[in-house]
C-alpha cells in the first residue's frame, strides 16, 4: 500500500501547486492594472453628444457617483448644450445594468394626454418636415424617469446632479458649435424667429444667435433649482407643473395638471436576445429595440467577416443589409405600447427562427416592391440624444432621451424655461396605415390616453461571454435603427474598431423603402445597388448619431459621434 500512498501524496501536492499557480495568475490578471493604449480608459467613461456633458458625467462618476448618477448629470447638461434634442419637457428610455449584471428598463416616454385636438391626424405630415405645434405635445415624463432610477441606483444626492447644469444655465456659455451649425439652416432659423423659441435663441434685437454669442437659460436655472430641492414632485404636483400647464394653455394646448399627476413610468426587465456569442439587452416595445434585433439576427446568418466588404463582395453584403432594413420597415407597425394592445407586440421580431424565414426571402439578385416587405409608406422624422455610461463597478447605463423632432413642438414655456416635445407625431405612422379611412375612426380608440407612441429609440447593452460589454445607443429619429445596426455590424462582424464602425458612412432606407446614402459612401457600391433595382434618393439631413462605450480586453473605448461634434470623457 505504501507506494500507492506516496503516489497519492504527490498527486495532491502537485494539484495543490497547480491550483496555487492558477490563483496567482488570476490575481495578477485581475488586480494588476494593465496599461490601456492611448485614447482608452482604464476605469470608466461617459459618451454624450458633447464633450462638456461627457465631462460633467465623468466628474460625477469620479466623485463617487453611480452610472445612473453620471447619466442623469450628463442628460441635464445636454438639455442646455443640445436643447433642440431633449429636455425636461420630453421623455427617455433607460436600459440599466446593475453591478450584479441584472438589466432593467425604465421608460418615461411621453404619453397621450386625457384630451387632445379632435382632428389631430389631419395635421400628420406626409413628407419629411418639421412639425411644430403644441397639439403634438405628449405628457412629459423626463423627471419621473430620473427620480425613479436615482431612487433605485443613485449614490450621490439628487441635488448634486443638478449643480453643474444650474451653474451653466445661469452663467451662460458660448453657443455650442453643433447648435450654431443648426441655427445657420434657413428652415431652422425661420422656425426659431417665428416662434417662442426666439426668447431663448435670439439676441435682444431679435436676430438668431450665431457664432460667438452666449447662450443662457436663466428661467430654466430657477426651475432646476426648485426641482433639485423638491424633487420631481415640483414638476408633477407642484408649482413648476402648474406654471408649465398655464403656459401650455396659453399656447393652445390641452395637457392638464391631471395628466402630470397621473403620469406613469414603465419599468420591467430588458428583452435579452442571443446574438452570436453575445447577449443583446434592449428595451421592449414601444421602443425600437426589437427592430434592431431583427436586423442583427438577419445579418448574423450571413456569416459576415472583414472579407464581406472587400471588392464586389461589398455590394452583395450591402444588398443583404438593405433588404434586411426593408423587411424591418415592414414590421414597424407591430411596434406598439404593449399596455394598449391585446397581442404580444413585436415578440416575433426577436425570434431567430422568424429571422431565418425572412432571410430566405432575401433574393441575392434583386429587390422587390413595397408590398413584398409589407411596407406602408409613411414619413420619417429626426431628433433625440443618447448617453452611454460605464462605471468602475461594471454597472452601465444606456439612455436615449428626446423631445422628438428638432426643438420638439417649438414651444417655449416662459414661466419655467422648459421646451415642449412633439412626441405625438410618432402616431402618424399608424395614421398612414389607415389612410384614407383615418379621418372617420374613433380617435380615442386610436389614441387612448396614457399610451406611449411607438419609437425607434433602442438604448442597448451587449455583453459577451468573455465579459466584454458594449453600451450603445443612437439618436436621429427614424435613423436610429440604421445608425445602431450599421455601427454594431461594422464592429462585431466586419472588423472595424468602434470609432471606425460609428464613423463609417451609412445607407438609410427611408419609410418608403428608398435608399439614401450619406456623403462619403462608396460610389461603386451605390451603382451596384442601383443595378440590383434599389431606388436611390438624394438627401442631405443625416442626423444619425451613435454614442457608445465599450470595455474590451479590460480597456475602455468611448466614442461620441463626430456627426454631432461630440467627444467622450473617461478616466
Ligand atoms: C443684433 O445684436 C447682436 C449682438 O447683440 C449684434 O451682433 C448684431 O449685429 C445685431 N444685429 C442687428 C441687425 O442689429
Ligand atoms: C453560415 O454558416 C452556417 C454554419 O456554418 C451555415 O450552415 C450557413 O449555410 C452559412 N450561411 C451562409 C449564408 O453562408
Ligand atoms: C408588386 O409586386 C407583386 C409581385 O411581384 C405584384 O403582384 C404587384 O402588382 C406589385 N405591386 C405594385 C404596386 O407594383
Neighbouring residues of 167: CB distance < 8 A, sequence distance ≥ 6: none
Q: Where are the domains of the chain?
A: 41-89+99-267+383-446, 272-381+456-570
Q: What is the pLDDT of residue 377?
A: 76
pLDDT tens sequence across 208-262: 999 999 999 999 999 999 999 999 999 999 999 999 999 999 999 999 999 999 9
pLDDT tens sequence across 526-563: 999 999 999 999 998 898 999 999 999 999 999 999 99
Strands, E assignment, 324-480: 383-390, 396-405, 411-413, 418-420, 460-464, 469-475
- CATH T-level topology, domain 272-381+456-570: 3.60.20
Alpha helices in 64-185 (DSSP H): 67-81, 142-153, 158-171, 177-183
Is-contact 261 233, C-beta < 8 A?
no
Element (H, E) at 289: helix 289-300
Q: Are strands 173-174 and 418-420 parallel, antiparallel or unpaired?
A: unpaired
Give the whole-angstrom CA distance, residue 457 versus residue 481: 8
If you take atom 3 of ligand 1, which residue's CA is the nearest one?
A: 203
Is-contact 326 373, C-beta < 8 A?
yes
Long-range contacts formed by 308-315: CB under 8 A, 24+ apart:
308/493, 308/494, 309/494, 312/528, 314/522, 314/525, 314/528, 315/524, 315/525, 315/528, 315/529, 315/532
If you measure from the C-alpha of residue 201 to the centroid of ligand 1, how many angstroms do you get, rounded to a whole number? 13
Q: Does the C-beta of 369 come closer than 6 Å to ligand 3?
A: yes
If you measure from the C-alpha of residue 7 to the centroid of ligand 1, how many angstroms do you get, rounded to a whole number? 93
Give the whole-angstrom CA distance, residue 334 versus residue 344: 9
If you take atom 9 of ligand 1, which residue's CA is the nearest one?
A: 207
The grid coordinates listed for 269 are 426587465
Model confidence at 438: pLDDT above 50 = no
CA torsion angle for 38, 43, 47, 52 (degrees, to 10)? -80
Q: Does the C-beta of 210 come closer than 6 Å to ligand 3?
A: no
Q: What is the pLDDT of residue 105?
A: 98
3-class DSSP string for 28-45: HHHHCCCCCCCCCECCCE
In sign, the C-alpha dihedral spanning 343, 345, 346, 347 is: negative
Positions marked catalytic: 384
Does residue 286 have a cis bond before it (omega within 30 degrees)? yes
pLDDT tens sequence across 87-113: 999 999 999 999 999 999 999 999 999
Q: What percent of the chain has pLDDT over 90?
A: 80
Residues with CB under 6 A from ligand 1: 203, 205, 207
Nearest CA among 227, 118, 212, 211 for reference residue 166:
227
Question: What are the CA-CA distances from residue 182 to residues 8, 84, 177, 186 (Å)?
Answer: 77, 9, 9, 9
**For the CA of 213, the nearest atom of ligand 1:** 4
If you take atom 1 of ligand 1, which residue's CA is the nearest one?
A: 205
Query: Which ligand number lies closest to the CA of residue 210?
Result: 1
Model confidence at 3: pLDDT above 60 = no
Give the whole-angstrom CA distance, residue 135 versus residue 120: 7
If you take atom 7 of ligand 3, which residue's CA is the nearest one?
A: 371
Q: Which of 27-31, 149-153, 316-320, 558-562 shows the lowest mean pLDDT across its residues? A: 27-31
Nearest CA among 370, 330, 288 for reference residue 534:
370
Q: What percent of the chain has pLDDT over 70?
A: 92
What secondary structure letter does DSSP report for 102? Answer: -
If you take atom 14 of ligand 3, which residue's CA is the nearest one?
A: 369
Radius of gyration of the chain, Cα coordinates, nearest whole angstrom? 25
| Per-residue confidence band for 1, with pLDDT thresholds at 50, 70 and 90 | very low
Q: How many CA atoms lie within 13 A of 416 on its CB side?
A: 25
Query: Which ligand number lies closest to the CA of residue 370?
Result: 3
Model confidence at 437: pLDDT above 50 = no
Nearest CA among 539, 532, 542 for reference residue 482:
542
CA angle centred on 479, ends 186 and 340, rounded to 5°? 115
Query: Which ligand number lies closest to the CA of residue 205?
Result: 1
Q: What is the pLDDT of residue 409?
A: 96
Give the whole-angstrom CA distance, residue 366 versus residue 323: 10
If you measure from the C-alpha of residue 304 to the centroid of ligand 2, how many angstroms do you get, rounded to a whole number? 10
For a substitution probing ligand 2, which of 298, 299, 303 has the most ligand atoms within 8 Å of its CB? 303
Q: Does the C-beta of 303 come closer than 6 Å to ligand 2?
A: yes
**For the CA of 370, the nearest atom of ligand 3:** 1
The grid coordinates listed for 84 are 433642440
Query: What residues pair up with 516 in beta bridges, in sequence order?
Result: 508, 537
Give the whole-angstrom CA distance, residue 41 versus residue 241: 41
Give the 3-state secondary structure of residue 22.
helix
**For the CA of 303, the nearest atom of ligand 2:** 1
Q: What is the mean pLDDT of the chain?
A: 92
Query: Which ligand number lies closest to the CA of residue 213?
Result: 1
CA angle centred on 459, ends 453 and 460, rounded to 5°? 135
Amino acid at each position: 500500500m505504501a507506494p500507492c500512498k506516496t503516489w497519492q501524496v504527490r498527486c495532491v501536492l502537485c494539484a495543490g501547486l497547480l491550483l496555487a499557480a492558477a490563483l496567482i495568475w488570476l490575481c495578477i490578471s485581475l488586480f494588476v492594472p494593465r496599461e490601456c493604449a492611448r485614447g482608452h480608459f482604464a476605469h470608466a467613461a461617459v459618451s454624450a453628444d458633447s464633450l462638456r456633458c461627457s465631462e460633467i458625467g465623468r466628474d460625477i462618476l469620479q466623485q463617487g457617483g453611480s452610472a445612473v448618477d453620471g447619466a442623469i448629470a450628463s442628460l441635464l447638461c445636454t438639455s442646455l448644450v443640445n436643447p433642440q434634442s431633449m429636455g425636461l419637457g420630453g421623455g427617455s428610455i433607460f436600459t440599466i445594468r446593475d453591478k450584479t449584471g441584472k438589466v432593467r428598463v425604465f421608460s418615461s416616454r411621453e404619453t397621450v394626454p386625457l384630451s387632445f385636438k379632435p382632428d389631430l391626424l389631419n395635421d400628420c405630415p406626409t413628407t419629411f418636415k418639421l412639425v411644430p405645434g403644441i397639439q403634438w405635445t405628449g405628457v412629459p415624463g423626463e423627471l419621473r424617469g430620473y427620480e425613479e432610477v436615482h431612487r433605485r441606483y443613485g449614490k450621490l444626492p439628487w441635488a448634486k446632479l443638478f449643480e453643474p447644469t444650474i451653474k451653466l444655465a445661469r452663467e451662460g456659455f458660448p453657443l455650442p458649435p453643433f447648435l450654431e451649425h443648426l441655427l445657420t439652416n434657413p428652415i431652422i432659423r425661420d422656425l426659431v424667429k417665428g416662434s417662442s423659441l426666439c426668447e431663448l435663441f435670439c439676441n435682444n434685437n431679435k436676430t438668431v444667435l450665431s457664432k460667438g454669442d452666449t447662450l443662457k437659460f436663466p428661467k430654466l436655472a430657477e426651475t432646476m433649482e426648485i426641482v433639485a430641492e423638491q424633487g420631481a414632485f415640483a414638476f408633477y404636483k407642484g408649482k413648476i407643473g402648474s406654471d408649465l400647464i398655464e403656459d401650455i394653455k396659453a399656447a393652445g394646448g390641452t395637457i392638464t395638471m391631471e395628466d402630470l399627476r397621473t403620469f406613469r413610468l414603465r419599468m420591467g426587465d430588458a428583452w435579452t436576445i442571443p446574438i452570436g456569442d453575445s447577449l443583446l439587452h434592449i428595451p421592449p416595445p414601444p421602443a425600437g429595440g426589437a427592430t434592431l434585433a431583427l436586423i442583427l439576427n438577419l445579418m448574423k446568418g450571413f456569416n459576415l467577416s472583414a472579407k464581406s466588404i472587400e471588392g464586389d463582395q461589398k455590394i452583395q453584403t450591402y444588398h443583404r443589409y438593405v433588404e434586411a432594413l426593408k423587411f424591418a420597415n415592414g414590421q414597424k407597425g407591430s411596434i406598439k405600447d404593449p399596455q394598449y394592445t391585446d397581442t404580444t407586440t413585436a415578440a416575433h421580431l426577436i425570434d431567430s427562427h422568424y429571422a431565418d424565414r425572412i432571410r430566405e426571402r432575401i433574393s441575392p439578385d434583386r429587390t422587390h416592391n413595397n408590398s413584398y416587405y409589407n411596407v406602408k409608406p409613411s414619413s420619417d422624422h429626426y431628433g433625440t440624444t443618447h448617453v452611454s455610461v460605464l462605471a468602475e463597478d461594471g454597472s452601465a447605463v444606456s439612455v436615449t432621451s428626446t423631445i422628438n423632432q428638432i426643438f420638439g413642438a417649438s414651444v417655449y414655456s416662459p414661466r419655467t424655461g422648459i421646451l415642449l416635445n412633439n412626441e405625438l407625431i410618432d402616431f402618424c405612422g399608424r395614421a398612414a396605415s389607415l389612410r384614407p379611412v383615418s379621418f372617420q375612426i374613433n380617435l380615442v380608440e386610436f389614441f387612448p390616453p396614457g399610451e406611449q407612441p411607438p419609437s425607434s429609440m433602442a438604448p442597448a447593452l451587449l455583453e459577451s461571454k468573455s465579459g466584454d460589454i458594449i453600451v450603445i445607443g443612437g439618436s436621429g429619429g427614424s435613423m436610429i435603427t440604421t445608425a445602431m445596426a450599421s455601427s454594431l455590424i461594422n464592429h462585431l462582424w466586419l472588423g472595424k474598431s468602434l470609432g471606425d464602425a460609428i464613423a463609417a458612412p451609412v445607407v438609410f432606407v427611408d419609410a418608403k423603402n428608398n435608399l439614401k446614402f450619406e456623403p462619403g459612401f462608396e460610389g461603386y457600391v451605390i451603382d451596384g445597388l442601383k443595378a440590383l433595382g434599389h431606388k436611390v434618393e438624394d438627401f442631405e439631413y443625416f442626423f444619425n448619431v451613435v454614442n457608445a462605450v465599450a470595455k474590451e480586453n479590460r480597456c475602455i473605448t468611448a466614442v461620441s459621434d463626430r456627426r454631432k461634434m461630440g467627444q467622450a470623457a473617461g478616466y
